[in-house]
Amino acid sequence: MAQTAKRDYNLLGPSSEAAIASGLAAAEWYHTEVDRKQMKALMQRSDGPAIRDTVIWLGSMLVLAAGGIYFWGSWWAVPFFLGYGVLYGSASDSRWHECGHGTAFKTRWMNNVVYQIACFMIMRNPVTWRWSHARHHTDTVIVGRDPEIAVMRPPDLFRVILNFFGILDAGCAMLDMVRNAAGVVTPEEKSFIPEMEHAKVIRVARIWLAIYLATLALSLWMGSILPLMLIGLPRLYGAWHHVLTGLLQHGGLADNVTDHRLNSRSVLMNPVSRFIYWNMNYHVEHHMFPMIPYHALPQLHELIKHDLPTPNKSIIDGYREMVPAFLRQLRNEDYFLKRELPATAKPYREELHSGVAAE
């Protein structure tokens, strides 16, 4: 049956009510069967890989920032800030994500410290986004339920392009921060953040606002945007990589389904992008088994790939598939890319997807 009703992404709107009424919300999701011992081995936590990667990440930022400051005023500063920006405005996206799951490090306080730092860089309130991401995993790309749908239908491609430079994202994040700092938590936020956490949302927003105001004051005092180039602005000029990779996660694929093989995309990527992205290119695998640490996702991929769609061969390959789908969705928002499963894969649970139009 074709889906004809216009999508309403409001978390408090009729699509949300319909998803709850139909059982789509908080439904049971498809999982590939994996032997418990193998799964347990993959789930094991380790501090080593994340400490190594965090030292490289923050150490590189320090070196690049020092270079940028040293060469400030000359064109030689540009490559330093380009590198610094990506590590600040893009690598922070995967760091808040992994540490939010609590899987990056074995030691909990290490997860929490990196989570707070990365959330600040990517301008995502650590309390709000912990809860919104829990909802994203419960109701992945369920219209009216998932607060983290990057590209809605029909797609707003102008907004998508602007966000490669963080222009709308960061602007909205700053407004949210000021609003939260003023003590206001919206009804939409309240729909997924428990009341006992609201005070934390407000406290974090006030601390961040103080940091940004101090940075702004320092810039004004120095008569230079250099402090802002180091704190705040990298969220704009370094955002492109996290948008580049993040759009591939679910872009152009099915919505309102309960099988991550249908609504998520795995993409084989170059090692640099995989470092920045912390292996979230294995996105079907991550959604199916969020317990698996980022460093074990390649092993998980090898273990279950017989049951998953063939991953895209590269970022470019993913965009060759996704962009035409976005363009078709401009004319027909019900269009989506239907993933092909290997012959050995278990079939979709079609009875759960009867309300979705396929092509």
Partner 1 sequence: MAQWIEACGAGDVDEEDVIRFDHGGRVYAIYRSPEDRYFATDGLCTHEQISLADGLVMDDIIECPKHNGRFNYQTGEAKGAPVCVNLRTYPVKVEDGAVFIEV
Residues that bind partner 1 (CB under 8 A): 26, 39-40, 43-45, 101-103, 106, 127, 130-131, 134, 137-138, 194, 196-197, 289-291
Cβ 31 to partner 1, closest distance in Å? 9
- Closer to partner 1 at the Cβ: 127 or 149? 127
Cβ 148 to partner 1, closest distance in Å? 14
- Closer to partner 1 at the Cβ: 112 or 215? 112
- Closer to partner 1 at the Cβ: 22 or 44? 44
Which residue carries 């591939």 as its tokens? 248
Cβ 256 to partner 1, closest distance in Å? 19
What type of residue sits at position 199? A
Which residue carries 């997807």 as its tokens? 353
Cβ 56 to partner 1, closest distance in Å? 24
- Closer to partner 1 at the Cβ: 4 or 28? 28
- Closer to partner 1 at the Cβ: 138 or 215? 138
Cβ 14 to partner 1, closest distance in Å? 23
Cβ 55 to partner 1, closest distance in Å? 24
Report the distance separating Cα 290 and Cα 295, nearest Å.
Answer: 12
Tokens of 111: 């997860």
CA 208 to chain centre: 21
- Phi, psi (deg, nearest 5) at residue 253: -95, 180
Tokens of 186: 């919206």
CA 263 to chain centre: 14
Cβ 26 to partner 1, closest distance in Å? 6
Cβ 140 to partner 1, closest distance in Å? 11
By C-alpha distance, which of 257, 135, 258 is closest to 191?
Answer: 135
Cβ 32 to partner 1, closest distance in Å? 13
- Closer to partner 1 at the Cβ: 134 or 167? 134
User: Which residues neighbour 268 within 8 Å (Cβ) at sequence distance 6 or greater?
Assistant: 281, 311, 312, 313, 314
Report the distance separating Cα 107 and Cα 311, nearest Å.
Answer: 32
Report in angstroms the alpha-carbon separations of 19 from 33, 144, 250: 27, 7, 19
